Structure 1
Amino acid sequence: MFEQFVGTVNGVLWGHGQVLIYVLLFAGVWFSYKLNVIQIRQFCHMFSLLRGSNKAEKEGISSFQALCTGLSARVGTGNLAGVAVAISLGGSGAIFWMWVIAILGMATGFAESVLGQVYKVRDSQGEFRGGPAYYIQLGLNKRWLAVSFSVCLFLGYGFSFSAMQTNTITDALRFAFDIPELYSGLVITILAGSIILGGLKAIARFAERVVPIMGILFVSMAVIITAVNISDVPAMLKEIILSAFGLQEAGAGAMGAAIKNGIQRGLYSNEAGAGSVPHASGSASPVPNHPVTQGYIQMLGVFLDTIVLCSCTAVIILLADINISGEMEGIRLTQSAMTAHLATGGVYFVAAAITLFAFTSVVANFAYAESNLHLFKLDNRVGRGLYTSLYLLMMLWGATATLKEVWSLADMALGLMTLVNIFAIVQLTPTVIAVNKDYHKQRAQGKEPKFSDTEVNVQGKCELGVWSKE
């Protein structure tokens, strides 16, 4: 009965009902409209805030560390396998619609990350924590909804996702190097434990060092492949555009498949609206010290994840001389494409990329769920110890498990999380607009923006002493 219930809910959220696709599309259009297409108008300003983003107060992590932590979780198997699924089912035109949903998702990501900052709190160690549970409780005064969100978060990011990411790594290592799943699972669990036992700041330092290198290597490989096949690039771009609008021989049916799969995989990859990244945003002490700073930084995260990294995977696949069957293909399609470019080295490159991408996701996912321990007064040695032990055990179990049921539970948890989060951020739109106006008003006056909750009309209340001295 439980499996039937989970299957029914997932059918409505992700399957034939596709409720989440419509909800996330609505959120992207809503915030793009309410914020006057901020992702386009302030595109250059978004990058300019990277200067000074490595500075932080002792209570929080830096903006750059928060960006890298968010990218750690975003950049995962979706960037490698998800893009392949989109192309295999929706054709090359799916990439165009992936770009569209990323541009809309940038506005959603901005809104939720601003709220994560506005309503952040201090935990028992005096460090900043934030996320949907806190802006639901403080901004909307709905503790029951905040608790519901946190329960879904623990089911998904807290436990299920760790098992799935470990399973992905061990499967890739078995395929490429014939390493037994149990052995690689033990090593991965020990390595992850050595990082997450250091807490949020250790996780942020790890992300800050690894994610830029990981991204640069992957983008460099895509650039080299593009340069080698430069004569085929115009035809590839033409095919993406024509296929996106059904202007090829397959017609409207192909256009529908391109839209559906491009939007779906883009949403899965960049996580805008899911309520995950605000946990990293809320933990930061940005420079300038204003919530909108972090909104821009995390908006950049959506851009880098989908427009840059997903596009790199698409280029690698579309420039390869391989047959795309039209049946659902995932990571094996990406591996086939890399093999076409790099011979047998392609399998090893993709295996290494999956291992690194998934491992960083495991570490960041731990931080997201841990941020919610404070909500239940469990941010103490016993609470953290129990959660850490369960998390690592789930990783070890996932290394050799058959994960069909866990995938289903995780999908349901993520879907319900997203519904609650979108409901909350839409309700808190007046706060997002007011805080954004305050930031740009100070900039127009030649000031370095600084936020005070006593000078801006925010819904509900902020935690005392976070944004003002009173």
Structure 2
Amino acid sequence: MEKIVHYNNIINGFVWGTPMLCLLVGTGVYLTVLLGVPQLRYFLLSLKEVFGSRKAGRTTEDKSISSFAALATAMAATVGTGNVAGVATALHLGGPGALFWMLVSALFGMCTKFSEVALAVHFRKKDEHGDWRGGTMYILEHGAGQKWLAILFALFAFLASFGIGAAVQANSTAEGLSLGFGVDPLHSGIVLAILVALVIIGGLKSLSTVTTYLVPLMAVFYIIGSIVILATNAQHIPEAIASAVRYAFSDPMAMPGAIAGWSVKLAVSKGIARGVFSNEAGLGSAPMVHATAYVDHPVRQGLYGIFEVFMDTIVICSMTALVIMTTGTLTGQAELTGSQLTLYAFEAGLGTVVGKYVLSVGLALFAFTTILGWYWYAETAATYLFGVGFKPVMKILWIALILLGAAGGQILGTGAKAFLTSLWDMADTLNGLMAIPNLIGLLLLSGVLRRVVKDFDNKRRNGELR
């Protein structure tokens, strides 16, 4: 086990290191230029798509879901503990400048996610049960002709899902309920396993129906709590924003109350890494559910990818960062990091009782919906690797890992924490490894993507599409 951890740390240092982060952002920059800045050019159109009332009909035989349901399911996976603990960790390690670089990566990540989603819809296929299947593995096999890379991506996604999508998220849900309401983790684990089982047994339609209602609710709940704190500390917002910009380029150790170790290099690397980890742009996960949407053109679904990154990082992650900075928690509680740092900031802004409840409920909801969203990714990867007959096995494995993650202390005893930490670290590495074949596919098919985007623009110009 020690050797596995050792080699995992080496690989993790590469996949979340400077070369890979440059490739992630560089791909976003390249696609932004190639496609004519779609994240800005289509931004208002993406808002119209998400909040508009346009309805597209489909036959009852078609097993696709609506574009909004696909977005909600994708956001169930992306809006998670990374928005709470990940942002706090980035600020703790890199200082205020990490927020600036997180937003820079999100700006180009909006284009990367747009591109992933559009290609996923363009190259999607139906499985033996009539379900739409799509994502990086289908893009690589049917678009780029690189089946070995497709298998590699599916394997990384399948293995990563057990940690990042099931066990660790279940642990975060149980932790949130224990923190806010004193619920025993074993009881949380049992209830959580039953709730998830009831949702996933009904397939994608059931899963997307739940996330369509739950994701907007949890986002609004968290945003309102953040807005109340920011309104109370409004006088500190300009300085917080100025610090994020200033210390993105200059030595943050010059900042009053600076924490030892802050540097511009760490601000850049931690800001970009946690931004990518939160919105998953470039990792190839979200296209697996976006590919199931009923839509009249691949680019139209890509518009939802633009909105997904915008809401996840530019709105929710920014609010978390500003709450931490405006309450003085970042420099006032140097020993805290992760969710504990965010918790202290919410308690400082809303009071100990209310702040604890708002964050604990938000954290539990974020983690629960991530379990639901990542289940579809796991099932899609498993179906690609082992066929549709593996779906019942996948459901059983998922439920078992949820129970193990939530109540690991009671089930595994003293080794629970070490087990979950190792599982999280390996899942984090596998999550990063997913980006390599995905980015290769995006670059190889950038010409196809450009033609698809031009086709969309021409059809809208000619009145064939709205």
| Match of residue 173, structure 2, among 169, 174, 181 | 169
Matching residue of 1:467: none
Aligned to 2:397: 390
Q: Does 1:221 align with 2:225?
A: yes
Shift of 1:310: 0.5
Deviations 1:304-350 (A, max 9, x none): 00001111111221121434455561101110011111112211211
User: Per the alignment, in what secondary structure is the counterpart of residue 387 of structure 2?
Assistant: coil
Aligned pair partner of 1:333 in 326, 329, 341: 341
In structure 2, C-alpha distance between the alignment counterparts of 1:156 and 1:40, rounded to whole Å: 32
Aligned equivalent of 2:411: none
1:279 Cα deviation from its structure 2 partner:
0.5
Q: For residue 96 of structure 1, what is the amino acid of its counterpart?
A: F
Aligned ranges 1:26-105 → 2 under 5 Å: 26-50=26-50, 51-52=52-53, 55=56, 57=58, 58-105=62-109
Q: Residues 53 and 395 from structure 1, CA distance in 2 versus in 1: closer, same or farther, beyond 3 angstroms?
A: farther
Partner amino acid, structure 1, of 2:29: V
Counterpart-to-counterpart distance in 1, 2:21 and 2:36: 22
* Two-structure CA RMSD over aligned residues (Å): 2.0
Q: Deviations over 1:179-207 (max 9, x none)?
A: 22212111111111111111011111111
Matched-pair contact (CA < 8 Å) for 2:127–2:388: yes
- CA deviation digits over 1:196-247, x for unaligned, max 9? 1110111111111111111112112222222222222222222222222217
Greater shift, 150-159 or 101-110, is seen at 150-159
Q: Secondary structure at the match of 1:174?
A: helix
Mapped partners of 1:334, 1:328: distance in 2: 9
Match of 1:415 in 2: 432
Aligned with residue 284 of structure 2, among 235, 258, 275: 275
Partner of 1:455: none
Shift of 1:53: 5.7
TM-score, scaled to structure 1: 0.90
8 Å CA contact 2:343, 2:356 repeated in 1? yes
SS in 1 for 2:300: helix
Q: Is the 2:116–2:287 contact (alpha carbons within 8 Å) kept by the matching residues of 1?
A: yes
Equivalent position SS for 1:305:
helix
> In the alignment, which of 115, 121, 124 is matched to residue 117 of structure 1?
121
CA drift at 1:52: 4.2
The amino acid across from 1:131 in the alignment is G
The DSSP-based 3-state class of the residue aligned with 2:64 is: coil
- Is the CA contact (8 Å cut-off) linking 1:120 and 1:134 kept in structure 2? yes
State whether structure 2 residue 304 is matched by structure 1 residue 297: yes
> 2 CA distance for matches of 1:23 and 1:35?
18
Q: 1:69 to 1:90 in 2, by over 3 A?
A: same
1:165-314 paired onto structure 2 within 5 Å: 165-246=169-250, 250=254, 254-286=263-295, 289-314=296-321
Greater per-residue helix proportion? 2
Q: For the residues of structure 2 that align with 1:259 and 1:12, how far apart are their CA atoms?
A: 16
- More off after superposition, 321-330 vs 23-32: 321-330
1:368-404 superposed Cα distances (whole Å, 9 cap, x missing partner): 1212344246224xx2111100111111111213212
The answer as to whether partners of 1:159 and 1:391 remain within 8 angstroms in 2 is: no
> 1:302-451 maps to which residues of 2 (within 5 A)?
302-322=309-329, 323-326=331-334, 329-344=337-352, 345-376=354-385, 378-380=387-389, 383-399=390-406, 400=408, 401-402=416-417, 403-448=420-465
Give the corresponding residue for 1:457: none
- Give 1:142 deviation, angstroms: 2.0
TM-score under structure 2 normalisation?
0.90
Letter matched to residue 455 of structure 2 = D
| Unaligned ranges ≥5, structure 1 | 450-470
* 1:151 match: 155
**1:160·1:409 contact (CA, 8 Å) conserved in 2?**
no
**Structure 2 CA distance for partners of 1:56 and 1:219, relative to 1, 3 Å:** farther
Say whether the 8 Å CA contact 1:93–1:245 is kept in structure 2.
Answer: yes
Indicate conservation of the 8 Å contact 1:80/1:310, yes or no: yes
Q: Deviations over 1:126-159 (max 9, x none)?
A: 2212111111111122222211111111101255
Are the equivalent residues in 2 in contact too, given 1:246–1:253 (CA < 8 A)?
no
Which stretch of structure 1 is more off in the superposition, 195-204 or 45-54? 45-54
C-alpha distance in 1 between matches for 2:167 and 2:46: 35
Answer with 47-56 or 185-194: which moved more. 47-56
Provide the secondary structure at the position in 2 that maps to 1:362.
helix
- For 1:392, give the aligned amino acid: I
For 1:13, give the aligned amino acid. V
Q: How far apart are 1:172 and its partner, in Å?
A: 2.6
Decide whether the 8 Å contact of 1:158 with 1:366 is kept in 2. no
Distance across 2 between alignment mates of 1:137 and 1:92 = 42
Give the drift of 1:32. Answer: 1.1
Displacement of 1:36 after TM fit? Answer: 1.7
Separation of aligned partners in 1, 2:245 and 2:70: 35
Q: Secondary structure, in 3 states, of the residue corresponding to 1:371?
A: helix
**Structure 1 residue 54: Cα displacement:** 5.7
Residues 325 and 110 of structure 1: is their aligned pair in 2 closer, same or farther, counting only changes over 3 Å? same
Most deviating of 342-351 and 249-258:
249-258
* Identical-residue share of aligned pairs (%): 34
**Secondary structure of the structure 2 residue equivalent to 1:225:** helix
Gaps of 5+ in 2: 256-260, 409-415
Moved more, 200-209 or 38-47: 38-47
Matched, 1:4 2:21: no
| Aligned-partner Cα distance in 2 for 1:52–1:27 | 33
